[in-house]
Structure 1
Amino acid sequence: MRTSIATVCLSGTLEEKMHACARAGFDGIEIFEQDLLVSPQSPAQIRALAAELGLSLDLYQPFRDFEGVDEQQLADNLYRAEAKFMLMRELGMDLMLLCSNVATATLGDDGTAAAQLRLLGDLAARYGIRIAYEALAWGRFVNDFEHAWRIVELADHPNIGTCLDSFHILSRGWDPAGIEKIPAEKIFFVQLADAPQLSMDILSWSRHYRVFPGEGAWALDQFLGHLVRGGYAGPVSLEIFNDVFRQADEVRTAVDAMRSLIWLAERTSVHLQETDGPQARYPMELATLPQVPEPTGFNFAEVKAEDTGQLQTLLGQLGFTFQGRHRTKAVQLWTQGRARIIINEQQARNQEPAIAALGFDVADPVRAASRAVQLKAEPVPRQSQADEEVLQGVYAPDTTEVFFCQGTGDGTAAWTREFARPQDSSAAGTAGNTGLDLVTQVDHVNLAQPWQHFDESVLFYESTLALAPSPSTEVPSPVGLVRSQVMRTHDGAVRLALNIAPLVMEKPGPSSESAYPQHIAFACTDLVALARRAVAAGLEFLQIPANYYADLQARFRLDPALLATLQELNLLYDRDEHGEFLHFYTATVGSVFFEVVERRGGYNGYGAPNAPVRLAAQYLLAQRSRDGSAKIAGYARNR
């Protein structure tokens, strides 16, 4: 599959965009006219740069408002078109995108439109140029791809074909199956875009909210499948109008774009095999990736920090056992049940506690890592001694390190043998676990995402780890709405919540790192028993207001004894038709806190109604901490 991308997708100058596209591995680009008009480089220089970078110049676009006009306007349009043809000859380009008229058309007759396209085709032929006619979803008379094809068919000119754009077809709800009826040689170009399902006017939807394949709501594997089945073998290009993408780093965006096409090619290949059989052959070759099943669980979660005292205390109070330090690295291991927490003190100078890495149990770590790298993920460099486990890892878009670990049926991990068990577990500065393990495993992990990379993260986890995205939700906090999307395996063995915090919670600086707290949630068998044990060990839970419990009783009519226990221990509660959910939160250390959950029956959610309560309690605690720090600082100055 030949890959291409419109320069309008990226930020920066035309030259910067071209370098980014080449670096990401694209075969070619569409030149968006505005990018060329503002460039100080001549068309000849742009042509030379493309050759130097190994990029083909696939499409010049857009040419607007041509057909369906009176004779005088037609003459003006032909004059304008010829000027563009001469420019394209300097660029060495032979294909122009013609959008259906949205502004100047006064004649809705297909015969007239076809005749005018034929005249344009005659003029284009003299310059060795072809025209790809595209139906815009908001075109005045032509807004349907099948209507546009009928006009091209009427024009009956070798230099006039059609361009198919997934956004213009799917946003109007047209059935893309009709693509297979169009002769493949008359489909001159294909543009792809995904989009979230929104209720708004199509023009605004198109101009601001398109995303790369796999980051929206549409079945683009089926869309591309119709093209492949119909015999199309030309470039598959991305045309994405998105305010966020055009503000983000152009190289990152280009890599994300390329990842989306690699993922889409694989998905389309699988779709065609399922529908047409594995023996079916098509003119377009669709590369596939190493196939990997879903992860079977969390292998570990890692928190990095310089000062680890509070983390050690929290884990000890939750009943975790200190398993010792790594024999060659400044790393600690804490465990309870199958839940493993690594505290990493390496290269952590002046760093407050933050989630740094996640390990996932997979069937074949090498194969999983190979797949991720082929999807443009950057490998994590990791030094290992000769007798140490080699862990395969890549960076997620938010720089979290994602490791692929060998899953085992008994839940053990070979790398834990590298930790020297202490003679006295209290040597770590906290009491060890002296009771029954009530925590069984990591239930889910919540990661804050930079706003400009949220869609990229969704695609990353879906394509590399086969995690399926759940519908996104918005949770109110004292400083704005928090958007959340859960990525998970079908059996719930891995649940990963991705959150975008309000911009006010973004830390200053070039990294755009979020100050929104992240957390690791542990599953347990008896939350009340664990909470009482933690209280006895000195753990202070996040304080939940009495108003919450009054509302809880109004909604659920709980047994008074249960309600009293919940309020006494600052536990939260939710219930649905499948079961019950009890959970509590610890205070935040740095940007990390812990949650412990108990799922009863078939409850499969995350206590979403309680999220605003947690956010408000955390905000109030942070505000009091800031006020206290300010008072202490003021006292010191006055002294």
Structure 2
Amino acid sequence: MALSRASLDAIPTSFASVSVGTTDDPLEDKLKAISAGGFKAIELGFPDLLSFANSVHGEEVKEDDYDRLCSAGIEVKKLCEKHNLGIMMLQPFSNFEGWPEGSQERLDAFSRAKGWIRVMQAVGTDMLQVGSSDSPNITASFDSLASDLRELADMLAACSFKLAYENWCWATHAPTWREVWAIVEKVDRPNIGLCLDTFQTAAGEWGDPTTASGQIEMSSPNLLEIQFATSLMELSQNIPCEKIYLLQISDAYKPPTPFSTEPSEQGLRPRGRWSHDFRPYPYNGGYLPVMEVARAVLRTGFRGWFSMEVFDGGSDGMGGMKQYDFHEFTKGARASHNTLLDECADGP
């Protein structure tokens, strides 16, 4: 499929609220910067909602206090409308699928799902992002994982909501687009699709923060490139564009010193740690093949949301998001979006 530059002009743009500043920063300041940067919507991060609820209610609000979270969510919706922003999605819903039947973890997961659906109603969004679970204690059965997600999809469908399932590249059983797509096909519901991500795809199948090269090391220098190109070709050929709900955009810095292959003190696997602190927007110091992933997704015919989800702690991962002026940061991200589309196009 030819990718003309003109065909990419109508792609809608979003920015994750958790990608600007920190949860301690006023949410309205973040929204102002996102809107001024030319973005049309946000992914509302649950940590930002929780922090905003604390400020609205003047005391710490618990993560499962859905009455207060919903009342705060109504105010978030008003703030977004004030700054001409939609709320494209609520994220990140994690460690949901795969718990043993009858376990407390499974009961808690479904209780949390009911609460998050209430939040979605309050803030006025129709999409929930679910990341592939990184818990070590879940089943490896794709039938069971799909069964849980099918039940969640049906819960969401009762409210005319949809589920965007994302492969997290450090996940226990579904770290690549192939696995999450196989699970989505098993779910077989019209309101479940994919949240694809340039970082999650490139960092999982091409990059490696534990090697000196920053790439997956193979016996042949060309083997990695061949395998990655094949994966992207299969993505373009096998996933219907209507089953892609959004593409999240970010790059990655190569860590100055290779990570240990062991989990961090916080229990994060190497790629999870990499994801949390080393993700700039494209053309800002990263090295992953971001354009190749975006182009593969566009070749499916997808022209939906491109959403910046970055966690830029600087090239050493230590700077944190406080180091950036909000408005300059979002303006730079918007310029990066335009450059990415220019690079993806193979004609005017």
**Secondary structure, in 3 states, of the residue corresponding to 2:154?**
helix
Cα distance change, pair 196–176 in 1 and its aligned pair in 2 (3 A): farther
Q: Which has the higher contact order (CA 8 A, sep 6+)?
A: 2
Residue 251, structure 1, aligned to residue 327, structure 2: yes
Partners of 2:277 and 2:179 in 1: how far apart? 26
Q: CA deviation at 1:103?
A: 1.8
Partners of 2:106 and 2:154 in 1: how far apart? 14
The answer for the alignment partner of 1:54 in structure 2 is 84
Q: Deviations over 1:253-287 (max 9, x none)?
A: 11111111111111112xx33xxxx6xxxxxxxxx
Contact kept? 2:181, 2:194, Cα under 8 Å: yes
The answer for the alignment partner of 1:17 in structure 2 is 30
Question: Structure 2 counterpart of 1:28, which letter?
Answer: A
| Aligned with residue 177 of structure 1, among 220, 233, 239 | 233
Contact kept? 1:170, 1:176, Cα under 8 Å: no
**Secondary structure, in 3 states, of the residue corresponding to 1:38?**
helix
Q: Deviations over 1:467-505 (max 9, x none)?
A: xxxxxxxxxxxxxxxxxxxxxxxxxxxxxxxxxxxxxxx
Q: CA deviation at 1:220?
A: 2.2
Q: CA deviation at 1:74?
A: 2.7
Contact kept? 1:69, 1:104, Cα under 8 Å: no
1:393-542 equivalences in 2 (<5 Å) = none
Provide the identity percentage.
29
Q: Deviations over 1:428-472 (max 9, x none)?
A: xxxxxxxxxxxxxxxxxxxxxxxxxxxxxxxxxxxxxxxxxxxxx
Partners of 1:27 and 1:267 in 2: how far apart? 22
Partners of 2:118 and 2:32 in 1: how far apart? 25
Partners of 1:156 and 1:193 in 2: how far apart? 29
Partners of 2:165 and 2:290 in 1: how far apart? 21
- Structure 2: state its 5+ residue gaps: 1-10, 57-71, 207-227, 260-269, 314-318
Question: Structure 2 counterpart of 1:50, which letter?
Answer: C
The answer for the alignment partner of 2:306 in structure 1 is 236
Contact kept? 2:132, 2:171, Cα under 8 Å: yes
Partners of 1:179 and 1:191 in 2: how far apart? 16
- Structure 1: state its 5+ residue gaps: 279-639
The answer for the alignment partner of 2:5 in structure 1 is none
The answer for the alignment partner of 1:262 in structure 2 is 338
Q: CA deviation at 1:105?
A: 4.0
Q: CA deviation at 1:75?
A: 3.1
Higher strand share: 1
**Secondary structure, in 3 states, of the residue corresponding to 1:171?**
helix
Partners of 1:54 and 1:202 in 2: how far apart? 35
Question: Structure 1 counterpart of 2:233, which letter?
Answer: A
| Aligned with residue 85 of structure 1, among 114, 117, 120 | 117
Contact kept? 2:277, 2:320, Cα under 8 Å: no
The answer for the alignment partner of 2:275 in structure 1 is 206
Higher helix share: 2
The answer for the alignment partner of 1:3 in structure 2 is 13
Q: Cα RMSD (Å) of the superposition?
A: 1.5
Contact kept? 2:96, 2:109, Cα under 8 Å: yes
Q: CA deviation at 1:133?
A: 0.8
Q: Deviations over 1:234-259 (max 9, x none)?
A: 11011111224611221111111111
**Secondary structure, in 3 states, of the residue corresponding to 1:261?**
helix
Say how many residue pairs are matched: 272
**Secondary structure, in 3 states, of the residue corresponding to 2:42?**
strand
Question: Structure 2 counterpart of 1:191, which letter?
Answer: Q
Partners of 1:2 and 1:124 in 2: how far apart? 24
TM-score, normalized by length of structure 1? 0.41
Dislocated runs of 4+, deviation >4 Å: none
Return the index of the structure with the highest Cα Rg. 1
Contact kept? 1:167, 1:194, Cα under 8 Å: yes
Q: Deviations over 1:360-383 (max 9, x none)?
A: xxxxxxxxxxxxxxxxxxxxxxxx
Q: CA deviation at 1:81?
A: 0.3
**Secondary structure, in 3 states, of the residue corresponding to 2:133?**
coil
Contact kept? 2:97, 2:138, Cα under 8 Å: no
Partners of 2:164 and 2:127 in 1: how far apart? 7
Partners of 2:165 and 2:180 in 1: how far apart? 7
Choose 16-25 or 102-111, whichever is displaced more: 102-111
**Secondary structure, in 3 states, of the residue corresponding to 2:247?**
strand
Partners of 1:224 and 1:147 in 2: how far apart? 19
